[in-house]
Amino acid sequence: MLRRSMTLVTTLAGAVLLGLAVTSSSLTAQERQVPSSFAQLEYSFAPIVKHVAPAVVNVYAQHIVENQNPFLADPFFRQFFGGIPRRQVERSLGSGVLVDPSGLIVTNFHVIRGASQVKVALSDKREFDADIVLKDERSDLAVLRIKGAHERFPTLEFGDSDKLQVGDVVLAIGDPFGVGQTVTHGIVSALARTQVGTSDYQFFIQTDAPINPGNSGGALVDMSGHLVGINSAIASSSGGSEGIGFAIPANLVRVVVASAEAGSHSVRRPWFGAKLQEVTPDIADSLGLKVPTGALVSSVVADSPAAHAGIKVGDLVVSVDGVTVEDPNAFDYRFATKPLGGTAQIGLMRQGRQMVVPVALQPLPDTPRDEVEIKSSSPFSGATVANLSPALADELRLDPQAAGVVITAVADGSTAQSIGFQPGDIVVSVNSQKIEHSTELERIASSGSRSWRITIRRGNQEISVMFRG
């Protein structure tokens, strides 16, 4: 019986999340050759697969979900439906890649989303429990570590995904549909694909190597056996491979893995501090551009690296360290893959003049969050709140300039959940008192009031509600 893998329909025509004869260096453009004889077409990928396969693992994740059967809440119907468990175990299947001999594995975030237990199975059929050491929803990546590892595991070396060219031959390795480790081959169909909708960094490698549900987190490797991408999604109307697959570039994966290796539970990326928008044909005409390209600065955060570099609203960002950026997605990828420390040279066009400014590569500033779980009897009971900082706002995908107290978690079955509070809600005021610190909210929640007037900000909306205890 086939195991079900996690899938997700995205914005691109029903994209579905998929859950050695090795040369000394990656092939250069000059070394790439078209086969000139039938004998060359008979060459086998077997030596590459033999080198790569031991480092690709299966990932099994399970999590507990509450049964939402409405009849269970009624005593009369419970006698008929009482045998239905209130909690059920859901399982998902994906793939992963060993990237450190100590047992560090990279996979997709959506494979282990909400998981309470994770196991990995190696190519030799051995199974291990694994800890989740880092989750990064923004890139749809997660890093696991094999528990109690007392050996050195086979790994894959990272390749430079920026050196890939359309037409390069690649292999995809994973566990499609739970049938077991499978290898497929194809070419790089396109680079820098956007509108895939599976992460904040829209800069995917597109390939026609057949990948299916269960391949999520598996390896995309080049002809040198180097990891050039993590298979993540497919565009499909049927749920199976139709020759359009997407992989997260290895250069972005490398940043996430480096954060895990450094002991961090979150990814530390450079902070630019300016909002960018796409250049439309109309905007291009107004700027005197022949083609709509680049990323237009629409706002700049005060005291940010962009502000300190002198970047202004209306500037057109055209390059990062000499590499052309065609849109905001390309800029986000190029800037996010820069190492912290030092500067990046940002190419701009300002009122028809070209210029280059150095922007410091520094992380988002973080301040004491003073995270508090509200336990007292109040509408906030079961909610965890914290002081907002630019770093926390970035984690929660909020405006970096937002301030105040934000809900970071809501316990299942709590009063806060029943009322409808969500992570990311900013508490503006309670009973006409402005909330600026988490301890203030905790104190007010403990006041014993029986009447509550609460205003929260969710996205671009302010919502005011009243409760009586």
Mean pLDDT for all residues in the chain:
81
Instruction: Give the range with max mean pLDDT: 32-46, 147-161, 238-252, 359-373.
Output: 147-161
Q: Which amino acid is at 285?
A: D
Q: Which of 140, 208, 222, 315 is catalytic?
A: 140
Domains in the chain, number: 3
**Has residue 26 been placed in a domain?**
no
For the stretch 217-246, pLDDT in tens is 889 999 989 999 999 876 655 555 566 788
Confidence of residue 14 (pLDDT cuts 50, 70, 90): very low
Confidence of residue 56 (pLDDT cuts 50, 70, 90): very high
**Has residue 14 been placed in a domain?**
yes
Confidence of residue 8 (pLDDT cuts 50, 70, 90): very low
CA distance 35 to 55: 29
CA distance 171 to 417: 45
Confidence of residue 426 (pLDDT cuts 50, 70, 90): very high
pLDDT value, residue 4:
33
Tokens standing for 162? 């920026």
Q: Has 140 been annotated as catalytic?
A: yes
In what helix (H) or strand (E) does residue 129 lie, and over which residues does it extend? Answer: strand 127-136
Is the pLDDT reported for residue 7 higher than 50?
A: no
CA distance 39 to 447: 82
Q: Has 308 been annotated as catalytic?
A: no
Do residues 191 and 76 both lie within one domain?
yes
Of the candidates 310, 389, 322, 316, the one whose C-alpha atom is nearest the C-alpha of residue 357 is 310
pTM of the model: 0.75
Instruction: Give the range with max mean pLDDT: 19-28, 85-94, 297-306, 384-393.
Output: 297-306
Among candidate residues 267, 296, 322, the one where a domain is terminated:
267
pLDDT value, residue 320:
94
Is the pLDDT reported for residue 11 higher than 50?
A: no
Is the pLDDT reported for residue 49 higher than 80?
A: yes
- Work out the end-to-end distance of the chain between its first and last CA atoms, rounded to an integer number of angstroms: 51
Question: For the residues 400-422, what does the mean pLDDT come to?
Answer: 87
Do residues 78 and 62 both lie within one domain?
yes
For the stretch 177-198, pLDDT in tens is 667 778 888 888 888 766 565 5
- CATH of residue 429's domain is 2.30.42.10
Helical packing angle, 250-261 and 328-336, nearest 10°: 40
Q: Has 110 been annotated as catalytic?
A: yes
Q: Which of 139, 216, 378, 438 is catalytic?
A: 216
Do residues 263 and 278 both lie within one domain?
no
Q: Which of 110, 327, 414, 438 is catalytic?
A: 110
For the stretch 354-376, pLDDT in tens is 999 999 999 888 778 888 899 88
Do residues 331 and 419 both lie within one domain?
no
Tokens standing for 296? 């237009």
**Has residue 38 been placed in a domain?**
no
Among candidate residues 360, 387, 407, the one where a domain is terminated:
360
- CATH of residue 211's domain is 2.40.10.120
Domain that holds residue 351: 274-360
Among candidate residues 336, 360, 384, the one where a domain is terminated:
360
Q: Which residue has the higher pLDDT, 272 or 32?
A: 272
Do residues 309 and 398 both lie within one domain?
no
CA distance 8 to 239: 10
pLDDT value, residue 384:
93
